[in-house]
């Protein structure tokens, strides 16, 4: 199975500053159709996960443009610009290229 490794696992940030989360996969996530199925999710305390980004860099409708995804192959990044209080929660990457689907361990974002 493809192992997804996130870092850091804990990320204290100052309001208004930016934050970056890394996600590395043990195999390339480029599928035979040419797409790279790397997703990012946000889980706020007490809530269900919500998909923020799909196919590396595509934002879901309603997701603020402060969130951006980048990367290729096996190395991906989620960046949050100008962190706000509502961004507190756990962020997960997930690969949708190989079976079984696999998630990263999660990165907890908190305000300093």
Partner 1 sequence: EVQLVESGGGLVQPGGSLRLSCAASGFTFTSYWMTWVRQAPEKGLEWVASIKEDGSEKYYVDSVKGRFTISRDNAKNSLHLQMNSLRAEDTAVYYCARETNTRDWGQGTLVTVSS
Residues lying near partner 1 in the complex (CB under 8 A): 1, 37, 39, 41, 43, 48-51, 54, 60, 90, 92, 94, 96, 99-106
Min CB(11)–partner 1 separation in Å: 15
What phi, psi does 83 have (nearest 5°)? -55, 135
Of 11 and 81, CB closest to partner 1: 11
Tell me the β-bridge partners of 49: none
Smallest separation, CB 58 to partner 1 (Å): 11
Closest CA to 56 of 45, 70, 67, 68: 70
CB of 14 to partner 1, least distance (A): 26
For partner 1, which is the closer residue by CB, 77 or 96? 96
**Rounded to the nearest whole angstrom, what is the least distance from the CB of residue 37 to partner 1 in the complex?**
6
Using DSSP's 3-state secondary structure scheme, residue 85 falls into helix
Residue number with CB closer to partner 1 (1 or 75): 1
* Sequential DSSP letters for 87-99: G-EEEEEEE-SSS
> Nearest to residue 49, comparing CAs of 92, 9, 83, 10?
92
């Amino acid at each position: 199975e493809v192992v997804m490794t996130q870092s850091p696992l804990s990320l204290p940030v100052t309001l208004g500053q930016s934050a970056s989360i890394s996600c590395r996969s043990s195999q390339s996530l480029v599928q035979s159709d040419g797409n790279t199925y790397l997703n990012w999710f946000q889980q706020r305390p007490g809530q269900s996960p919500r998909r923020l980004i799909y196919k590396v860099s595509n934002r879901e409708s309603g997701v603020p443009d402060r969130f951006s995804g980048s990367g290729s192959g096996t190395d991906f990044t989620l960046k949050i610009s100008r962190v706000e209080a509502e961004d507190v929660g756990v962020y997960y990457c997930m690969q949708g290229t190989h079976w079984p689907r696999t998630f990263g361990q999660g990165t907890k974002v908190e305000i300093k």
